[in-house]
Structure formats: C-alpha cells, structure tokens
Amino acid sequence: MAKKKKHKHHKNVPSLIEVEKDYGFFEDFMEYGPQYDTLNDCPIIPGETMTVQCISFKKLASSTRKLLRSIMEDLVLSYWESERQIPFGGKLNKMREAAIREGYSLTGQYAKDSDELKHLLNECVPTVINKELQKESDQQADKD
C-alpha cells in the first residue's frame, strides 16, 4: 500500500494595512517622503506610518460593530439631507471606507472590508432613509 501524503497546515497570516497619518503643515513636503529630500540628512524615523492589523468581521467586538453601523447611519443621513438621493455604487463604497476609518480612529480596531461587513453597513441604508421619510410624512400629516 502507498504511503499517505502529509498535508502542511498553513496558519492564517493576518492582513496588514498602512494607515496614513496627518502631517498638517508639512503634508505637501511629506507627499513623497523625507527620504527624497536632498537637504534632509537625518535617517527616516520609524513609526511615521503605523502598520495596523485588519480584523475580520467575526473577530470585531460587538460594540465596534454597533459603532460602525451608527457611523454609517450618520453618513447616509447627512448624504440624504444634502443630495436627497439614495447612495449607491462608488459613493456607497466611499461612505463605507469612511465609516471603517472613523471607527478605527474611535476604537483602534480596523475592520476588514469583507462581504459580511458590507452587508451590515449596506443594510442600514434603506432603513435610515425609510425612517427619515416616515418622519417627514408624519410632520406633513400633523400640519394638515
């Protein structure tokens, strides 16, 4: 009989993402980094940008999930009030990315933009708009 092959078990390697820091006044100077500045003879200081681990949706704390959802609701509501349109496509993707970044700045957990997170954040879009339309119809009914 033939020998069984031994399968190597690969451990999951966490995915990392680079988060931009706000340089303020020196933002134009830091566009290409100080390593390209001929006048700068000092070495690059480690930690100018932080490497942050992306956390999958299942590993996020429930408070972080609720926070991400509330941030997305606020973004959708502000977009609805300004544009009076339902966000979709690229605009919705930008709103989702903004919610993830704002959630990271508040909690320190950077959520991986997975299908599960997309469903969580995209589900709140119609509910927020329906609630807003219901409030408007109630206000009009009270006036009449």
Q: Give the C-alpha separation, 71 to 8, whole Å.
A: 42
How high is the pLDDT of residue 52? 78
Whether 22 maps to a domain, the answer reads yes
**Residue 29 belongs to a domain:** yes
Give residue-wise pLDDT tens across range 97-130.
999 999 998 998 899 989 999 999 999 999 999 9
Quote the CA–CA distance of 73 and 141 in Å, as a whole number: 25
Q: Which residues contact 121 (CB under 8 A, 6 or more apart)?
A: 68, 69, 72, 96, 99
Residue 6 forms part of a structural domain:
no
Into how many domains does the chain fold? Answer: 2
Looking at the fold, whether 31 and 50 belong to one and the same domain comes out as yes
> What is the value of pTM for the model shown?
0.64
Shared domain for 77 and 125, answered yes or no, is yes
86 and 133 in a single domain? The answer is yes
80 and 133 assigned to the same domain: yes
Asked if residues 109 and 54 have their Cβ atoms less than 8 Å apart, the reply is: no
